[in-house]
Amino acid sequence: MGAWSAEPFGNDTAADWAYELEDHVDWSVVSAALRVAADSEPASLDADDATVAVAAAEVVARGLGRIDTPAFSEHVEAYVARVPAPTAEVVALAREALAIAASDAGELAELWEEDVDWRSENERLRAALTIG
């Protein structure tokens, strides 16, 4: 994974995944990416799958209107502009997937072990996905 930023779309894996959003008009592509992480144990989740889950969680937060900083991808902005707001179920799935994908027991956290910015970005994203 080539990374230039600790932000969810600040790496090659997430930026490449953003192309999958093109032409979709519902949350199925995002839900599928989240489901991979949500259905895994942190220690068995591949770093690339975890990276995509974090990016997908970011898309959900953007869909809620809770994050408006650049996502390093025009595909994300276009997607969020054309789909309806995410349902409560999609938001809950995003929270669950993020918890697993960013878990200290996972491969992705090991790769970012010394990076305070990565942890801060995940906390920002968790807060954005918290309803209420």
Write out pLDDT tens, residues 117-126: 899 999 999 9
> Could you tell me which residue, 3 or 36, shows the higher pLDDT?
36
The three-point CA angle 51-54-58 to 5° equals: 140
92 backbone dihedrals φ, ψ, rounded to 5°? -65, -40
Q: Where are the domains of the chain?
A: 12-129
Non-local CB neighbours of 70 within 8 Å, separated by 6+ positions? none
If we measure between CA atoms, which residue out of 45, 26, 27 comes closest to residue 100?
45
- Quote the pTM value: 0.94
- pLDDT tens figures, 64-118: 998 876 666 788 999 999 999 999 999 999 999 999 999 999 999 999 988 888 9
Residue for token digits 């929270």? 95
User: In this structure, is the dihedral angle defined by the CA atoms of residues 123, 128, 131 and 132, taken in order, positive or negative?
Assistant: positive
Which residue has 């990374």 as its token pair?
3
Going by C-alpha positions, the residue among 84, 98, 83 that lies closest to residue 128 is 98
Q: Max Cα separation, the chain? A: 38
Look up residue 76 and give its two tokens.
Answer: 């994300």
Look at residue 1 and tell me whether its pLDDT is greater than 60.
Answer: no
